[in-house]
Chains A and B, each alone.
Chain A
Amino acid sequence: MLTNYIKIAWKVLLRHPFYTFITLFGISLTLTVLMVLTSFLDHLFGSHYPETKRDRSLYVMQMMQMDSGRTSRNSGPMSFRFLTEYAKSLKTAERVTICTFVNSSNAYVGSQKIKLNTKFTDADFWEVTDFEFLEGKPYNEQNIANSDQVVVITDDFKKHYFGNGTESVIGKDVEIENIHYRVIGVVKGSPVTRPFTYSDVFYPYTAPKSNYQRAGMRGGYVAILLAKKQSDLKTVQDEFQSHIARIPLPGVQEGFKYAILEVKSEPYLENFIGTLMDGNKGIKTVFFGIIAFIMLMLMGLPAINLVNVNVSRIMERASEIGIRKAFGAPVRTLMWQFIIENIFITFLGGGIALVLTLIIIQLINNSGMIAYADLTINVNVFLISLLVCLVFGLLSGVLPALRMSKLKIAEALKS
């Protein structure tokens, strides 16, 4: 039966090449946009290099202090001391890393200035993340305890600073902001879209200008809490919140009197959205509402167009519908036939879209627009794309199938 449906669908496509072109063009274009978007969202929020353990990580990105009326607030990253006391001490977490976001610096190669991004981290940073060491090794607790002036650099920075040579740069000297450091490791860099791991140069937190000894709760540091397994996330979250609850309230921070203090440990996506929307209540609903609306618009409008084309096509096939009904096809079976045909056409468009998406993401990856961009069509993206094809096929197939089901056999046979 399925072969019969697909045979018919194929023949119908061949019957009107121009209509077919318009239909497939519309479907392919829509699905390409959706697939590229899905791939980009997966690039942003999925577990990818070097944050391959995101599925069991919690991110602590900012502290929010508010007055009792919640009318004024003060928010931002935390101090190293604060995170050491309240995050590093977690017993339920497998490991906790404390690091800064990126800071801008300059280095010089002769007279040429290189703008670079730097990050201060602890030794656990290299355990919580999954950086690939192309040369050397990460700094360890001993380097930190000794306040060694060592750095881990990315392959990209190595190229800019030391040139394109293939020889190892381990042990070589790097001068950044007039301070000399010894290169201890070279890693494959992380994309700029992963702010917790993106940097050109990584310093131990005891390196100069890290401000790790700064007093008070606020500073320039964030933390990643790594749970032993995904199912432990809630436990780690609860323990962290119990630590935060110990902080006496109200308090004063640099002249600001606060009565409410919020520090959240959240999975990456929630953390990202929360930060984007500044922690307002209902942000997730708003964010996902907007995403759903955009997706619906992207899929809905072409689907409506496809519904129109499909209705004309189905009505053109009234005689066939009459014949099938006369020989015993129940309405429901016929509806399925048309829906399956439509899904088949959508999947053809989906196939074209997949090829187009692969080309586009290769272009994005190679364009250098996003350093170390690694957009892919992985299993998740592929499954979501399949689902999108299915939804699109159903959206544009059900209405024409319903119209068809109302056709009287005798009337259909006359046409």
Chain B
Amino acid sequence: MINLTNIEKVYRTSSIETLALNNINLNIRKGEFVSIMGPSGCGKSTLLNIMGLLDEPSKGTVELDGQRVSTYRDKELARLRNEKIGFIFQSFHLINDLSVVDNVEIPLLYRSANGKPRQTYAKEALEKVGLSNRIKHFPKQLSGGQKQRVAIARAIVGKPEIILADEPTGNLDSAMGNEIMNILQTLNNEGATIIMVTHDENMAKRTHRLIRLFDGTQVQ
């Protein structure tokens, strides 16, 4: 499903070059639940960003469903992200000025879906994460766990095949973290391919495969 070959990522400033990822080769299969672990600054989020087409590698190739994406233009990349990938972030990244349901609708806005079906899908997604009673609320009125559930609803509303989660439980207590993990496992059981960056060994143990990074290199 996702194939990374010889991926290298270098961050350059005027005087410093930092090698964030070095010769990464990875193949994520459809329906897998993969966790990525490693110390802070080892390149986990960078790797996730490259897989999610949010960033481009300095070297190497990224293939999604057998298609090389390096030649794709902004519009094509945006369409791929919109249709195939859902994102969950550690700090939720909800838009505070929009209500819960409006936040969840965002991916559908870029599919030219009409207002009514958009709302129906958003409500269904919120129901799935147990937040159908909070649709008119604003992010500031929600707890951390509720925010993350809204973020999950937003990630799944467009029914993407891949969900990329960057430390989805990082800002939550263990009980709430477990709840989020349960939701992710349910989604995986329903067929979604999930790649999750985590610091938590217990969470990683609940996934099918663990990838470890150290100083930008894959060690497991």
B54 touching A7, Cβ below 8 Å: no
Q: A326-B54, A330-B110, A408-B55 are in contact. Are A8 and B78 (CB under 8 A)?
A: no
A12's nearest neighbour on chain B, judged by CB, is: B97
- Interface flag for A263 (CB, 8 Å): no
A330: B residues at CB distance < 8 A: 74-75, 78-79, 110
Chain B positions 147-174 with a Cβ under 8 Å from a chain A Cβ: 154, 158
Taking CB atoms and an 8 Å cut-off, the chain A residues in 307-355 that contact chain B are: 319-320, 322-333
Q: How far is the CB of B80 from chain A (nearest CB, A)?
A: 8
B124 adjacent to chain A (CB < 8 Å): no
Are B75 and A328 interface neighbours, CB within 8 A?
A: no
Q: Does B142 contact A (CB under 8 A)?
A: no
In the docked arrangement, what's the CA distance between A319 and B87, Å? 14
Interface string of B93-111 (1 = CB under 8 A from A): 1110110001001110111
Residues from chain A with a CB closer than 8 A to the CB of B25 are none
Query: Roughly how many angstroms separate A242 CA and B82 CA in the complex, as a whole number?
Result: 70
Known: A7-B102, A409-B55, A410-B49. A328 touches B110 (CB 8 A): yes
Distance of A12 Cα from B96 Cα, bound (Å): 10
Q: Please, what's the 1-or-0 string for B10-54, where 1 marks a CB less than 8 Å from any CB in chain A?
A: 000000000000000000000000000000000000100100101
Asked if A4 CB lies within 8 Å of chain B CBs, one says yes
**A326 near B52 (CB under 8 angstroms)?**
yes
Tell me which residues across on chain A come within 8 A of B46, comparing CB atoms: 410
A323-B111 in contact (CB<8A): no
Interface residues on A, range: 20 to 34
- State the main secondary structure of chain A at its contact with B: helix
B106 touches A324 (CB 8 A): yes
**Known A-B contacts A4-B109, A327-B106; A413 and B74 likewise in contact (beta carbons under 8 Å):** no
In the complex, are the beta carbons of B109 and A1 less than 8 A apart? Answer: yes
Bound-state CA distance A3–B115 (Å) is 10
Q: B63 an interface residue at 8 Å Cβ cutoff?
A: no
Whether, in the assembled complex, B81 has its beta carbon less than 8 Å from a beta carbon of chain A, the answer is yes
Inter-chain contacts of A322 with B (CB < 8 A): 93
Q: What mask results when residues 116 to 138 of chain B are scored 1 for a CB within 8 Å of chain A, else 0?
A: 00000000000000000000000
The answer to whether A409 touches B107 (Cβ under 8 A) is no
In the complex, whether A15 has a CB less than 8 A from a CB of chain B is yes
A158 to B102, CA, bound (A): 67
Known contacts A327-B87, A330-B78; is A413 also within 8 Å of B54 by CB? yes
Q: How far apart are the CA atoms of A1 and B49 in the complex, in Å?
A: 27
A residues 274-332 in Cβ contact with B at 8 Å: 319-320, 322-332
B-chain residues with CB within 8 Å of residue A409 when the two chains form the complex: 49, 54-55
1/0 per residue B59-95: CB within 8 Å of A? 0000000000000001100110111000101000111
Most buried by B among A4, A15, A327, A410: A327
**Are A323 and B95 in contact (CB-based, < 8 A)?**
yes
Residue of A nearest to B79 (CB): A328
A328 & B83 in contact (Cβ 8 Å cutoff): yes
Closest to A329 in B: B110
Complex Cα distance, B98 from A4, in Å, reads: 8
Residue of B nearest to A8 (CB): B97
Quick check: is A113 within 8 A (CB to CB) of the other chain? no
Closest B residue to A15 by beta carbon equals B97
User: Which chain A residues lie closer than 8 Å to B110 at the CB level?
Assistant: 324, 327-330, 333
- Asked if A11 is at the interface of the complex by the 8 Å CB criterion, the answer is yes
Cα–Cα, bound, A64→B87 (Å): 78
Give complex CA distance A71, B3 in Å.
85
Question: What's the nearest-Cβ distance from chain A to residue B136, in Å?
Answer: 13
Determine how close the nearest CB of chain A comes to the CB of B90; give it in whole angstroms. Answer: 10
The residue among B107, B111, B154 with the most chain A CB atoms within 10 A of its own CB is: B107
Cα–Cα distance between A408 and B54 once the two chains are bound (Å): 8
- Contact assessment for B115 and A327 in the assembled complex, using a CB-CB cutoff below 8 Å: no
A320 and B89 alpha carbons, distance in the complex (Å): 13
Q: Which residues of B contact A327 (CB under 8 A)?
A: 81-82, 87, 106-107, 110, 154, 158
Question: Chain A interface (Cβ within 8 Å of chain B)?
Answer: 1, 3-4, 7-8, 11-12, 15, 319-320, 322-333, 408-410, 413
The 6 lowest CB-CB distance pairs between A and B, nearest first, are A328-B82, A11-B97, A328-B110, A330-B78, A327-B107, A409-B54
Q: Which residues of B contact A (CB under 8 A)?
A: 46, 49, 52, 54-55, 74-75, 78-79, 81-83, 87, 89, 93-95, 97-98, 102, 105-107, 109-111, 115, 154, 158
Show 10 A/B contacts (Cβ-Cβ < 8 Å), sorted by A. Answer: A4-B98, A11-B98, A12-B97, A323-B106, A326-B54, A327-B87, A328-B81, A329-B78, A330-B79, A408-B55
A sample of 8 more A-B contacts (CB under 8 A), given A326-B54, A330-B79, is: A1-B109, A11-B98, A323-B94, A328-B107, A332-B75, A409-B49, A409-B54, A410-B54
